[in-house]
Amino acid sequence: MKRAGPALFSGEMDFCREVLNRLHQKREVRNSKETEMKTVITNTLDGRDILVDGNRIAALGTPAMIRSMAGPDARILDVQKSMALPGFNDSHMHLRMTGQMLTGCRLDTAGSITEIQSILRSCHEPFVHGMGWDQENLLEKRMPERRDLDAVNPDIPIVCERYCTHILTANTAAMKLAGVWREDGIFQEAACEPLLEALDSQAARHIQAGVDHCLARGLTTVQIADLKTGNWRKLLPLYRDASQRIRIHHQVNITDPKEMEDFLREARLYETDTHTFGPFKGFADGSLGGRTAWLGREYADEPGNCGEPCMAEEEMETFVEACDRLNRPVIFHAIGDAAIRQVLAVYRRHPGMKQGILHLQITDEAILQDLERLQTDCMVQPVFWRSDRNIVEQRVGTRMARTSYAFGWMASHARVSLGTDCPIEDCDPLENIRWAVSMPGGLSEKQALTAYTEGSAWAMGRSRDLGKLAPGYLADIVFVRDGTVTGVMVNGQMTE
């Protein structure tokens, strides 16, 4: 018999220490709840007071009624005529990547490759990471290439991600560090991963910066697609720590059935009321801006190119079967109509599962009817219309463009939640709602607000206790006055 080495015993000891730590944390949470005071939220815009008991809403009513229920020791929170709303819940974003954008070189305002170079030269990090460029906004109307980044500095690694995050450009030093090479330095989809691994050492700082930004925007819950094959064991403790300030729900990018089982077994150790695990996520295609979204017909502005599927249907079937067997929800990133049709075909063979599709941008009438018939969770980003309105007809043609971005129709006929895919777009719920209401065939204000609260709670399986201002629901509340977020309460506690 082979004897267990020191590394194995060390791993077992780490596991035991983590179990004891979790038990200690549970005791601390239980003890803290025993001593929590009641809070009266008063002076709201509609005149109703709200009684919060611990981390839940106990009652809503007249000031006199709520004061009599609260008792003399209750804390009083005067919100100065702010509107009290259920906390905004972004149904799809990237928390760590948001922090990377905030702490790195922002390229979203660059109007030329020369401007990109100037911004990069101002960054003095040992590994320069730029995010947000879009060739459609550049004077040159092309993607930056290796030679452009080498002109900034050939010796320091530089990686610049397109705003969609499905494409990046690397300089010579970055490619040498990652052990990869392409003459133009342009990488797409999974080929980007080796070039981004050097950023792992800054993960904790990036996550906390992302949390700060989300809270400032009025978000109380974020459904994030950050965990994936290769990083989840390292990142789970960091996200559990971050969830003490904001509610975090994971959409997990793992499609291998064996690794899915491993993840579920180990992730339970990190689960709390504010740190939860939702669907496994697959990719059906790429991005519209990069012309990698999979269309049923060739791109109108690039004949011969229909984009590309990320998974064969047989592979997709195996993945969904594994989710079904493990009793887990499933979602797919699908932008192009061919990709959406492929996902729906697989979903039809697995009735009774909780199933969702992210993005849902290029649709026809048959797809819309299928979404209604299957009641698929539609997890959409209306704020995408801000940039995509300038390219959608060029990419897919006038006829297909007319039935695309049909988010208002989805809100009336299927289950819709709103998100931003931040940092693709900023995670500002109020801005997203403005685009949801103003886009052609958009949502009503009531539909948009419902989709951002109740709809997103439904998407994460928490509609029983999240997304409403009602007795028994979790006290996740955002306060808004004159179009500005004035305060955020998460789990019964005001955030700084």
- The pLDDT of residue 446 is above 70: yes
> What whole-number distance in Å separates Cα of residue 418 and Cα of residue 425?
13
User: CA 365, CA 145: separation in Å to the nearest integer?
Assistant: 39
User: Do 103 and 131 meet the contact criterion of CB atoms below 8 Å apart?
Assistant: no
Most confident of 12-16, 124-128, 190-194, 314-318: 314-318
Confidence of residue 162 (pLDDT cuts 50, 70, 90): very high
Amino acid at 406: A
Query: Using 50, 70 and 90 to split pLDDT, how confident is the model at 25?
Result: low
90, β-bridge pairs: 222
pLDDT of residue 36: 66
Least confident of 26-30, 61-65, 78-82, 253-257: 26-30
For 28-32, 74-78, 240-244, 488-492, which range has the lowest pLDDT when averaged over its residues? 28-32
* Cα 251 to Cα 241: distance, rounded to the nearest angstrom: 18
Q: In what order do the strands lie in the sheet with 415-418?
A: 88-93, 219-224, 247-252, 275-283, 330-334, 355-359, 377-380, 415-418
- For the chain, give the mean pLDDT: 92
- Measured CA to CA, the distance from residue 292 to residue 290 in angstroms comes to 5
In angstroms, the Cα distances linking 142 to 119, 150, 384, 393 are: 18, 17, 21, 19
Query: What are the pLDDT digits (tens) for 295-343?
Result: 999 999 999 999 999 999 999 999 999 999 999 999 999 999 999 999 9
% the chain with pLDDT above 90? 85
User: Does residue 22 surpass a pLDDT of 70?
Assistant: no
Q: Which residues of 55-70 are buried (b: 16+ CB within 10 A; e: fewer)?
A: bbbbbbeeeeebbebb
Please state whether 43 falls in left (phi above 0), alpha (psi between -120 and 50) or beta. Answer: left
Q: What is the mean pLDDT of residues 186-209?
A: 88
Span(s) in the chain for CATH 3.10.310.70: 99-200
Which of 1-10, 120-129, 395-404 is the least confident region? 1-10
Reported as a single tens digit per residue, the pLDDT across 334-391 is: 999 999 999 999 999 999 999 999 999 999 999 999 999 999 999 999 999 999 999 9
pLDDT at 21 over 80: no
If one counts every other C-beta atom within 10 angstroms of the C-beta of residue 40, the result is: 21
Q: Are 200 and 234 within 8 A, CB to CB?
A: yes
Region(s) of the chain under CATH 2.30.40.10: 13-81+471-496
d(Cα 115, Cα 136) in Å, to the nearest integer?
Answer: 14
Tell me the Ramachandran region of residue 357: left when phi exceeds 0, alpha when psi lies from -120 to 50, beta otherwise.
beta
CA distance 448 to 230: 36
State which amino acid sits at residue 284.
Answer: A
pLDDT at residue 1 tops 60: no
CATH code of the domain made up of 202-463: 3.20.20.140
**What is the distance, to the nearest Å, from the Cα of residue 167 to the centroid of all Cα atoms in its chain?**
18
pLDDT category of residue 20 using cuts at 50, 70 and 90: very low
Does 123 have pLDDT greater than 90?
no
15 pLDDT above the threshold of 60: no
pTM: 0.84
What pLDDT score was predicted for residue 228?
Answer: 95
CATH architecture of 13-81+471-496: Roll (2.30)
> What single-letter DSSP state applies at residue 199?
G
pLDDT of residue 485: 97
Helix 257-267, helix 232-242: angle, nearest 10: 40
For residues 479-483, give the mean pLDDT. 96
Instruction: Give me the CATH code for the 99-200 domain, please.
Output: 3.10.310.70
The predicted pLDDT at position 134 comes to 93
How far is Cα 104 from Cα 124, in angstroms, rounded to an integer?
10
Instruction: Give the mean model confidence (pLDDT) for residues 7-34.
Output: 43
